[in-house]
Structure 1
Amino acid sequence: MWSVTMQLMKRNLTMLIPAGIAILVGSMFISCTFLFSNTLNYSLRKQVSANFGEANYGVIQKDSSANDSGALSTVADFRLNELKNLKGVEGVRTDVSTPLEINAKLGREGLKHASSVAIASANPSSMVPLQLTSGVWPKVSGQIAIADSVAKQLKLSIGSTVSASTSAETSLYGTSGSLSNMKVVGITRDDAGAFSYYRGACVLSESDISTVQGISTGFDDLYTSEIFLKIHPSAGTAESQVINNVKSVLPQGFAVQSKQALQDQQIKQLGDGGTNIITTFVLVFGILAMFVASLVIGNTFQVMVAQRRRTLALLRTIGAKKGQLYRSVLLESLVLGFAGSVLGVVCAIGLMSMLGLAGAKLGGLSFALIPSWQVVIIPIVFALIATTIASMSSARMATKVTPLEALQPLEASENKRSNKTRIIFGLLLLLAGVALSCFAIYRTYASTHGSQISDNDSETLVLVAIAGVIFCFISMLLTSRIWIPAVLRAVGAIISHIGAASTLASANIQKNPRRVAATGSALLIGVTLVSCLGIGAASAKATMGTVLDSHYSVDIQAVGQSLDTSALHKVEKAEGVGKAELVSSATATIASGKYKSASIDIYGVNPSTITDVMHGMINAQELDNGNLILSSTSAKSDATLAKQRSLPISSGNSSSREIPLKLGEYRGIDSTHGLYGVVSEHTFDSMKLNHVSNQIWVKSDGTASTANLVDNVKNALSSYASVNVIGSIAERALWEKMVNSVLMILVALLAVAVVIALIGVTNTLSLSVIERQKESATLRAIGMTKAQLRRSLAVEAILISLGSGVSGIIAGTLFGWLGSYVVFASFGTVAFPFDWRMACTIVIIALAAALLSSIIPARRATKVSPVSALAEA
């Protein structure tokens, strides 16, 4: 039967190509999933160990107390000279860093300032977790290697002279220090991302890094909690022996850990393997794509078996057994699945290789080809399972063919009993899904209107809603043989009056409802999921907008004693700045509830313009009335404080003053203390607070990236000393980027299923053309033109795509609204948007794809002359 099977495959190769493409796309997707996971795992490992440089071991604190006294460990505690002299230890670097302000005089521009971070140099220099783009590493006091971002901001190069300082506010020791006439000997770049928060780091000698922090006793008295080692045992010495020697030198409470072990530990802390969760999540969509592909394959084999009935009957006549025919169909599907999946794996590996060679990046992820057995084996196994299951029904159909049936043409018959069972089971699932969905809606509504539920109950409600959606969706698929043809029949009845081509297309759809339903279901799955995610994302953005506003109320804060109105004007002119406001700040003392003498940061703002620079809910009228609007997040830490109508506030030696108190939904302000609030400028002045300083609050106009906006503000204030640019815009942008990225990735993943479904539409039309050769020839013989025949196939494709697409949009919208309500109701009023742009895009893509999918079948139908087609039939 092997040779017979191969001959049959060659004969029907044209019919098998679309199904093979579906398998190729699905297996390629699964293979890419594992390749992406490998790349992500590799990138995460590099990121969590970025501070190692070329070190392969780290000395870390293993318990809460580093020594008997409980004091912080210093460099001297690690006895570096003894570590360096141990055999097998080729390099030692201490993890010592300090915030650093670099000052440079730039001719006519005057003195400019830039903030960064500095680390100590190491020997050998390969231990430094930075790359040297030009120059050399600092070797003696008075030399500095600066970050490339600082060099760009201050227009510095090798040989430039700068000064550096650390303020007492930012120093770990509460002291300040400075270095003058520092010569720039190198430019560094942070490729590993060890200091991404500062956009790179500077390098100083050990003596200079202690001086700049105001520690006159030297480098040995600096605090550190981690040492990096480069261990390479000499011949005849075991690595374990070197590690034991290192342990004998270490202070109590510290242990030696390999770089590999640290990576494993950090990756595990991301959540049970971290990347395994992502892989599993993405793999679900790969399995979905393969499921859609199996629908296409099932369609293909059912039609092929129906066409081969005469051939199969002849094989039975000459002695072929039912089991041989059954195995022949399964073997054909296995060969198809194996060939398609192997090509899919090869394409996936080729794609990842090209991305790696091109240096493509996604956020902080750099693509690279990192093979593993899962990349090859799992896609092939999935493909073989999917094709086997999809062809079983057709294989059973082949065993029912008798020699007598070969003497006359026979259409594949429907199993009415099986059809009734499907409908009954589908309706039961629909009732269960609606009941679960209604229960989730009711409980969610109750929880937002006074009924208290726990976090576990909230998670359960989400699971209940998901189960309800799944049951409803499975019910739609099980009953698709009833409702999809009915929908298409209704649409066809409307368009059948347009012309002969439309009438013929409508009639052809009703001729084989089983195949049309299977094709429509494949397209329905992709469109429903894309619509569901699109609606969910739109609802999330609308609903969570106020949440983001309350969490990240101020985009950027520039903090410094020297800031004034002239600085404000410079910031306002910076690219990417929408609005900027000069704000007064001071620290006062309150006595309320559990706070007997707590510090609070108070900001004096202009009530008429504060909403221009803040996202949070600030009532200008309440500010004008002399109220202190306390951050509700601050107040949550003390129930008594949250209920008070006024708050006694004092500053320095001044007497306490009662200030009317209101709560506001805002946060994300970088404050020195846990409590903070805003008052009007007039109220702020009347309180006579001590140690008043200025800040500039900035709101982005959205035209510049977060990094560029921060740099632009820094550059605008570079002539002002000791200015720190901070703020929550990075966190806000990160959350917004995560929502957009997740949506983009999910839609891209689901697009794979839609592409496979559209292949199925093409396949359905092709099979329909092959089955209807005699009918098409008859129509041509009685006068139907080639153009009319092409139009009928185009209308047929449009009806299938349009009916399934619109049904998918409606179902996806309802599912998206349900999920959004259950998930986001606890955050506030849930928005129920309908994304017309997305819906129209889906419909247009479906219609365009339908027209394209009808081209090849139409050419096949019109290529054969009526006489030859009738003769072949």
Structure 2
Amino acid sequence: MRRITQARPRPRAGRFAATALAIVLGVAFVTATLVFTDSLDARFAAQAEGRADRVDAVALPADPARPLPADGLAKVRELPEVAAAAGTVRGEAVLLDRGGRALGGVPALALSAGGAASRLVADEGRLPAAPAEAALATTSAEAAGYAVGDTVTVVGHDGAEHDFTVTGLVDFGLDLEVAQRGAVVFAPPTARRVTGAEGFGEISVRAAEGVAPERARAALAHALGARAETMTGAEFGRATAEDAGVRTRTIGTALLLFAAVALFVAALVIGNTFAVLVSRGRAETALLRCLGATRGQVFAGVVAEALVVGAVSAGAGVLAGIGAAVGAVRIGAALPGAAAVFGPGAGALVPVVRPGAVLLGLAAGVVATLAAALRPAYLATRTAPLAALREAATADADAVGSRRGARGRLAASGALAAVAAAVTAVGTAAEPGPAAMAVVAGGGLVAFGAVLPVAPLLVSAAARLAAAALGGLGTAARLGAENARRAPRRTAAAVVALAVGAGLITGYTVVSASVQATLAHVMAREMPADYALVPAGSGAGLAGDRRLPPGLAAELRESPAVGEVVRVRRAQARLGAGPGGAEGAGGGAAAAGTGPGGTVAVTAYPGARLGVDLAADTAAGDLADVAPGRVAVAEDTARRLGLGVGDSVALGGDGPGAPARAQLRVAAVAVDFPAGLTLDPADFARLFPDAVGDSSLLVTGAEDADAAEVRAAVERVAADHPGVEVSSAAAQRDQYGRMFDGVFLVVAALLGVAVAIAVVGVGNTLALSVLERGREIALLRALGLTRGGLLLTLAAEALLVAVLGTAVGAGLGTAFGLAAADAAMPDMVPDIPLGRVALLLAAAVPAGLLAALPPARSASRIRVSSLTSAGGGGG
């Protein structure tokens, strides 16, 4: 038996080429993901350890709104466990670029540095010491083009401009806030003068000689009391690394999910290959059984083939993945915006290849291959010894089994579809957010699982339709459609593989387009004008204490290019309590969980006519009815608070002399209006007597003014006020669009790996079809079928698979993309980008033709003499 097993003819390597390619691509994806994530983690860990070495203990405010008291630093310095202590003033200031404009969309972080216990050190130059000196974060310096020795201008808390000489550059490393906002570093007295901050945002200490860091931390905690949160330097470093590492883990998790999809698609291709090879070798297996081979030996033979193919292909995939990851790290380090995507420190990445990444990549490839080969190996053991004498009788077993089990397949598919619908309904009914999206994604996975049992039936039905439709192209094209029907399970595996990849790309496209549409809708609601002028850092739609300089609206109105200027004032009001009617919020406040102490955003438009200068649709009432004592409520706020036209709401203001409560009646429920309540300016002034100044200005150009003239006029006025930002709804929409388009391209490229594997699967299916039908192809050639006709046959079969798989995937992807978008954000505006989806469907045609070329080449080499051979095959 040993000699017989060794003499068994081995399949030619070409039969496993597509399978090996699928494994290589999947494993390369997994390995590259692990190497790239390990490189990011190593960079973060190195920075955290370096920072932890500089201090032994750190104290932070327990309440971010209440800084540590200034006298606390003196108490800490008197501790016997402390050798040195430093307090960090923490505030914000507007950093101007070389053109005099505010750098970035929010004020920069303003900090103090210096002293023996300061965590900050200058990576270039030195820290500031004199009143006219400052240091910049490396990210801020790069963004504005500043270097050591340059002069920078900073706008302080009082709106005054201050010039400083740059003495050094500070690498803040893992600080995500600095990566997003930038930072300016001053000497302590200068930091207080510029920011107006009181107390300290941090106190760091170096322990006395012989004192352990934990003991220094305990002493620090005792001195500062409950107002401080203390930790050792090492704990602080780990916490900072974990905060920054969230982004790394998120990116790594997303990439691993894509890699898992690629492996799943590869497994379908692998299983398809082994199923056909086992079927093709039925006679050989039966002969071995006749000669005494046991079922265990047959099973071991198929598994051994899978193990060899999986191990060799996984090894090649690991090497390819390492090469791809190293290249990605090198490219990412050279991109100036890498920190914005992957976090601070991405620009100094060094490729890290850990044994775990190599082993996991190898294991993923081998395990996926073995798992895919188990069912074919089991089916091989079911081959009876006498099957060698009746191979022809079993040729259509797949088709017979499909017809016999049609009802069972439909029942299984229906049950899974019902589960998918139920899970998706739960996700869409939940509070929008990541958890709800995860539930919807789970429903999508179950839905694709529901396609698996019914896929052979879909293939058979589609093949019948295709055969009728392709009849006009001749016998060759009709034969291609019929060939798919003859082995529906094999063809279905390729269809499902394509459907998974196409579904993921379509779903993400729908989610991306819906999020973009929703953001555009929100910006149109928050910015109902061409331009908005806001205090630097406040944002166009945020309420806050920052106010615009007085007289700014009058300056804008003087320009002939400006048609209308609407003043906007915003604040947060306290909601009153009590049942509806005379007090409260119509009973809705309690229902919404906004009892005493709850707040609501309020807005007023001094000088503007609601319903005329500011128009919006109303769900009930009329905006023109807003007057003293009467308010308009945004639709979502009305729903949350249970308010309707005619209800009363009690509001409390702030400031000296402000009334404890004002009773206001709802005059209108507005659609697409700022969230919260819109008050008459007189009511706003009574509730907020200290809110002097406008929160923002909405500017609309004159009817006959060119768009460039309007923008120039607005920017010219704003240039005289450094603390003022100009934002454009159109520009912001364009910015968001470019951002999402960029993200879409990245994700589409990742998912494209899964689609590429699926296309390989289509080619593999056709190649196995050629292998299985060697005698039939030889007979057709003998009867006069030309090589062109043979190519048309295989092309028709490839197009059937490609179009069916892509159509199924696009349908499921669109449905679950809409569901995922609804679960992602409240008030989602659904959007199906028909152009992108149509492009995806159109891409199925060339993909199918390309997949058919290699099998067609093999089929064209089959000789008529193969009719007398055992199977025929390509040369």
**TM-score, with length taken from structure 2:** 0.74
For 1:644, the equivalent position in structure 2 comes to: 648
Residue in 2 that maps onto 1:771: 772
Tell me the residue number matched to 1:511.
Answer: 486
Correspondence for 2:340: 363
Distance 1:790 1:827, change over 3 A: same
SS in 2 for 1:583: strand
- Of 77-86 and 721-730, more deviation after overlay is shown by 721-730
The equivalent of 1:861 in structure 2 is 859
Amino acid at match of 1:524: A
Q: How far off is 1:44 after superposition?
A: 6.9
Q: Does the C-alpha gap of structure 1 residues 70 and 618 become closer, same or farther in structure 2, counting only changes over 3 Å?
A: farther
Q: Of the candidates 525, 550, 555, which is equivalent to residue 500 of structure 2?
A: 525
Distance 1:34 1:658, change over 3 A: same
Equivalence for 1:451: none
**Residue pairs, 1:84-103, within 5 angstroms:** 85=83, 93-100=86-93
Deviation at 1:817, TM superposition (A): 5.0
User: Is the CA contact 1:509–1:516 (under 8 Å) kept in the aligned structure 2?
Assistant: yes
Q: Give secondary structure in 2 for the equivalent of 1:59.
A: strand
- In the alignment, the residues of structure 2 paired with residue 640 and residue 806 of structure 1 have an alpha-carbon distance, to the nearest angstrom, of 46
Task: Tell whether 2:814 aligns with 1:800.
Answer: no
Per mean C-alpha deviation after superposition, the further-off stretch among 842-851 and 772-781 is: 772-781
Structure 1 stretch displaced more, 394-403 or 863-872: 863-872
Aligned-residue sequence identity (percent) comes to 21
Equivalent-residue separation in structure 2 for 1:552 and 1:6 (angstroms): 78
1:483 aligns with 2:475: no
Aligned partner of residue 94 in structure 1, secondary structure = strand
CA distance, structure 1, for counterparts of residue 96 and residue 518 of structure 2: 45
Choose from 199, 212, 215 the match for 1:244.
Answer: 215
Match of 1:328 among 274, 295, 301: 301
Which residue is equivalent to 1:672? none
Q: Give 3-state SS (helix, strand or coil) of 1:343's partner.
A: helix
* 2:704 alignment counterpart: none
- Mapped contact 2:413–2:453 kept (Cα < 8 A): no
Maintained 8 Å contact 1:618/1:665: yes
Secondary structure at the counterpart of residue 753 of structure 2: helix
> Out of 68, 88, 110, which is 1:118 matched to?
110
State the alpha-carbon separation in 2 of the partners of residues 23 and 484 from structure 1. 25
From the superposition, tell whether residues 426 and 802 of structure 1 become closer, same or farther in structure 2 (CA, over 3 Å). Answer: same
Higher mean displacement: 784-793 or 69-78: 69-78
Give 1:179-328 correspondences, 5 Å limit: 182-186=164-168, 192-193=174-175, 195-196=177-178, 199-212=181-194, 223-228=199-204, 241=212, 243-245=214-216, 247-248=218-219, 251-253=223-225, 257-258=231-232, 260-262=234-236, 264-265=238-239, 282-313=255-286, 315-316=288-289, 320-328=293-301
What is the Cα deviation at residue 503 of structure 1?
2.4
- Give how far 1:330 is off: 0.3
What residue is the counterpart of 1:34 in the other structure? 34
Q: Summarize deviations over 1:570-603 as a string: whole Å, max 9, x none.
A: 9999xxxx99945264889999657999996644
Deviations 1:349-378 (A, max 9, x none): 221111212215373313653444542333
Call closer, same or farther: CA 1:757–1:734 in 2, change over 3 Å: same
Aligned to 1:561: 549
Give 1:428's aligned residue.
411
Contact preservation (8 Å) 1:79, 1:249: no
Pair 742,62 (structure 1): closer, same or farther in 2 beyond 3 Å: same
After superposition, the Cα gap between the structure-2 partners of 1:260 and 1:840, relative to the gap in structure 1 and judged at 3 Å, is farther
Distance, in Å, in 2 between the alignment partners of 1:785 and 1:491 is: 22
Equivalent positions of 1:389-408 (< 5 A) are 389-401=371-383, 405-406=387-388
Question: Measured at CA, do residues 590 and 494 of structure 1 come closer, stay the same or move farther in structure 2, by a change above 3 Å?
Answer: closer
Matched to 2:783, the amino acid is I
Matched to 1:120, the amino acid is S
Distance 1:637 1:432, change over 3 A: closer
Query: Which letter does structure 1 place at the counterpart of 2:606?
Result: G
Mapped partners of 1:187, 1:806: distance in 2: 55
**Structure 1: which amino acid aligns with 2:316?**
L
Q: 1:22 corresponds to which letter in structure 2?
A: A
- What's the offset of the Cα at 1:848? 1.0
- Could you tell me how far apart the structure 1 residues matched to 2:34 and 2:276 are? 34
Change in CA separation of 1:663 and 1:651 when aligned onto 2, cut-off 3 Å: farther
Deviates more, 1:247-256 or 1:838-847: 247-256
SS of equivalent residue, structure 1 residue 697: strand
Change (3 A) 1:720 1:624: farther
Partner of 2:839: 841
Measured after TM superposition, the shift of residue 421 of structure 1 is 8.3
The 2-side partners of 1:204 and 1:640 are apart by 50
- Judged with a 3 Å threshold, the aligned counterparts in structure 2 of structure 1 residues 467 and 735 are, in CA distance, closer, same or farther, namely same
Native 8 Å contact 2:427 2:439 kept in 1: no
Counterpart CA distance in 2 for 1:571 and 1:117 is 35
Equivalent position SS for 1:805: helix
Report deviation, 1:229. 5.1
SS in structure 1 opposite 2:472? Answer: coil
Partner amino acid, structure 2, of 1:604: P
CA distance in structure 2 between the partners assigned to 1:519 and 1:622 by the alignment: 59
User: In 2, distance between residues paired with 1:515 and 1:165?
Assistant: 69
Compared with structure 1, are the counterparts of its residues 868 and 42 closer, same or farther at alpha carbon in structure 2 (3 Å cutoff)? same
Distance 2:370 2:266 in 1: 12
> Corresponding residue for 1:55?
54
Q: Structure 1 residues 71, 711: CA separation in 2 closer, same or farther (over 3 Å shift)? A: farther
Query: Within 2, Cα distance between the matches of 1:293 and 1:638?
Result: 52
1:752 deviates by 2.9
Q: What residue in structure 1 maps to residue 21 of structure 2? A: 21
Amino acid at match of 2:412: L
Structure 2: distance between partners of 1:345 and 1:328: 26
Q: Contact between 2:553 and 2:567, CA under 8 Å: does it hold in 1?
A: no
Tell me, in whole angstroms, the C-alpha distance in 2 between the residues paired with 1:275 and 1:766: 41
1:226 is aligned with what amino acid? Answer: E
Answering whether residue 315 of structure 2 is matched by residue 342 of structure 1, we say yes
Aligned with 1:167 (options 157, 174, 187):
157
Aligned AA for 2:26? G
In structure 2, do the counterparts of structure 1 residues 147 and 403 end up closer, same or farther at CA, with 3 Å as the change threshold? Answer: closer
Q: CA RMSD in A?
A: 5.7
Which sits farther off after the overlay, 22-31 or 691-700? 691-700
Unpaired segments ≥5 residues, structure 2: 536-546, 577-582, 585-595, 702-710
C-alpha spacing 1:640/1:369, structure 2 compared with 1 (3 Å): same
CA contact (8 A) 1:588 1:650 kept: no
Shift of 1:810: 3.1
Report if aligned partners of 1:292, 1:522 keep a CA contact under 8 Å in 2: yes
Aligned to 1:495: 470
Structure 1: runs of 5+ lacking an equivalent? 87-91, 171-177, 216-221, 448-453, 670-674, 702-709
Cα deviations across residues 6-54 of structure 1 (Å, max 9, x unaligned)?
997964200111101111122222333434544565677789x699587
SS at match of 1:139: coil
Q: Which one-letter code corresponds to 2:365 in the other structure?
A: A
Displacement of 1:338:
1.5
Q: Which amino acid aligns with 2:28?
A: M
1:437-493: CA deviation from partner (whole Å, max 9, x where unpaired): 776899999x8xxxxxx869x999989877765555433211222221221222122
**Partner Cα distance (1:466, 1:496) in 2:** 41
